[in-house]
């Protein structure tokens, strides 16, 4: 009977550690691309198979799901971390393994795919947030079923799970209008993500439907999420808005803090409303009124859609829209008279 080939056998053949072999075969970081390809070639030559691989091969499946995002996206741990945990739980529940890798700027620009995608070692792929249209389309071109999470674009032909950013932003700005605010600022980088652009559209729609003309002096659509930048935005204004709608909780936290540094009291002199209901909205003083997204549901729906797509590859593409709700806290109050 032929002896079963193990990772240790491959390690001994190449005179490297078993851990390096494991990292190379599982598409993990920690080994060079040259080593990875060498290990994969030798493993194939030696006839190595993962535990349970024979059964999965008969079914034409690897038993693996891939999750990728830009390194910037993974740095937003409060928001995307919760979605990732939900995805991981749902994938494991279905008896599958989850392979995760970040995509850095060089990989994005050179369109370098993670090895587990390039070598088709996964049955499906989840892409968190924005990388680039070109990069996402290269992933899709592999033929592996792919779901976008919190991102979409007209030139990307793929299923997506999204939050209803326009309506969420509309509810937030409508809340400010109901508190008699008319001078309402918007702050967010709408070029970073379609989500932020949609939140800006919701802001404009709420103003329009309530007969309020947007004041260009109060609109910051290329805002940096840095304290010195936000301070500069506030200081340059000849007239201060009585309310701020911020595209995310990070900007909400900074606006809240910077206003108070300038002697503008929140909410007595200026109200602040943000988006995402993350940790920063809860630790701000005062706590920030924000738009809540069910992040656990986000992850769950993404995995459900991916597994459906894996079994229905020829069906039309879908976009699932998850509703959001306004959480009223202490940072919003009646406009000053």
pLDDT digits (tens, 9 = 90+) for 183-228: 999 999 999 888 899 999 999 999 999 999 999 999 999 999 999 9
> Which residue, among 40, 45, 18, 13, has the nearest Cα to 27 in the 3D structure?
40
Other CB atoms closer than 10 Å to residue 262's CB: what's the count? 13
How many domains are there within the chain? 2
Task: Enumerate the β-bridge partners of residue 189.
Answer: 222
Average pLDDT of every residue of the chain: 90
Residue 208's domain is classified under what CATH number? 3.40.50.2300
Quick: pLDDT tens for 157-181.
Answer: 999 999 999 999 999 999 999 999 9
Residue 98 counted as domain residue: no
Three-state secondary structure string covering 116-185? HHHCCCCCEEEEECCCCHHHHHHHHCCCCCEEEECCCCCCCCCEEEEECHHHHHHHHHHHHHHCCCCCEE
Residue 273 counted as domain residue: yes
As given in the structure block, the two tokens for residue 271 are 């109200």
Residue 144 counted as domain residue: no
Residue 43's domain is classified under what CATH number? 1.10.260.40
Residue 198 CA to residue 309 CA, distance in Å, equals 26
Residue 208 CA to residue 230 CA, distance in Å, equals 26
As given in the structure block, the two tokens for residue 167 are 């309506």
Residue 102 counted as domain residue: no
pLDDT the model gives residue 83? 85
Residue 91 counted as domain residue: no
As given in the structure block, the two tokens for residue 313 are 């590859």
Confidence of residue 2 (pLDDT cuts 50, 70, 90): low
Residue 187 counted as domain residue: yes
> Does residue 138 have a cis peptide bond before it, meaning omega lies within 30 degrees of 0?
no
pLDDT the model gives residue 54? 47
Residue 35 CA to residue 202 CA, distance in Å, equals 49
Quick: pLDDT tens for 59-102.
Answer: 457 889 999 998 877 776 667 778 888 899 899 888 899 999 98
Quick: pLDDT tens for 233-264.
Answer: 999 999 999 999 999 999 999 999 999 999 99
Q: Do 119 and 143 form a contact (C-beta atoms < 8 A)?
A: no
| Cβ-based neighbours of 165, under 8 Å, separated by 6 or more | 195, 196, 198, 199, 202, 275, 324
Q: Do 83 and 69 form a contact (C-beta atoms < 8 A)?
A: no
Residue 264 CA to residue 257 CA, distance in Å, equals 10
Task: Enumerate the β-bridge partners of residue 219.
Answer: 186
Alpha helices by DSSP H, the chain: 7-14, 18-25, 33-46, 53-58, 71-75, 77-93, 105-109, 115-118, 133-140, 165-178, 194-209, 227-236, 249-261, 279-283, 295-311
Q: Are strands 325-327 and 289-292 parallel, antiparallel or unpaired?
A: antiparallel
Residue 236 counted as domain residue: yes
Mean pLDDT, to the nearest integer, of 18-29?
77
| Domain residue limits at 214 | 165-293
Residue 12 counted as domain residue: yes
Q: Do 179 and 333 form a contact (C-beta atoms < 8 A)?
A: yes
Quick: pLDDT tens for 41-50.
Answer: 888 788 776 5
**35 has a pLDDT exceeding 90:** no
């Amino acid at each position: 009977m032929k002896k079963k080939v193990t990772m240790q056998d491959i390690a001994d053949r190449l005179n490297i550690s078993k851990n390096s072999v494991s990292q190379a075969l599982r598409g993990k970081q920690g080994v060079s691309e040259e080593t990875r390809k060498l290990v994969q070639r030798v493993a194939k030559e030696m006839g190595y198979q993962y535990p349970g691989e024979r059964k999965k091969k008969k079914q034409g499946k690897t038993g693996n799901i891939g999750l990728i995002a830009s390194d910037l996206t993974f740095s937003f741990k409060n928001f995307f971390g919760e979605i990732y945990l939900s995805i991981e739980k749902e994938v494991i529940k279905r008896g599958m393994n989850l392979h995760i890798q970040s995509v850095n700027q060089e990989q994005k620009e050179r369109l370098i795919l993670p090895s587990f995608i390039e070598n088709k070692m996964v049955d499906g792929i989840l892409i968190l947030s924005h990388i680039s249209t070109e990069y996402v389309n290269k992933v899709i071109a592999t033929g592996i079923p792919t779901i976008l999470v919190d991102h979409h674009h007209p030139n990307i032909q793929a299923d997506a799970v999204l939050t209803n950013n326009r309506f969420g932003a509309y509810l937030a700005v409508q809340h400010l209008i109901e508190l008699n605010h008319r001078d309402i600022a918007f702050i967010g980088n709408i070029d970073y993500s379609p989500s932020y652009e949609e939140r800006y559209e919701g802001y404009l729609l709420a103003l329009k439907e309530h007969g309020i003309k947007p004041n260009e002096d109060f609109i910051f659509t290329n805002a940096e999420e840095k304290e010195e930048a936000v301070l500069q935005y506030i200081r340059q204004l000849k007239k201060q808005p009585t309310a701020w709608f911020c595209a995310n909780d990070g900007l909400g936290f900074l606006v809240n803090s910077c206003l108070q540094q300038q002697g503008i009291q929140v909410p007595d002199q200026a109200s602040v409303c943000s988006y995402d209901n993350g940790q920063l909205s809860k630790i701000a003083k005062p706590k920030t009124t924000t738009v809540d997204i069910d992040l656990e549901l986000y992850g769950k729906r993404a995995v459900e859609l991916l597994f459906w797509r894996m079994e229905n590859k020829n069906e039309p593409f879908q976009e699932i829209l998850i509703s959001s709700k306004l959480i009223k806290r202490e940072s919003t109050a009646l406009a000053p008279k």
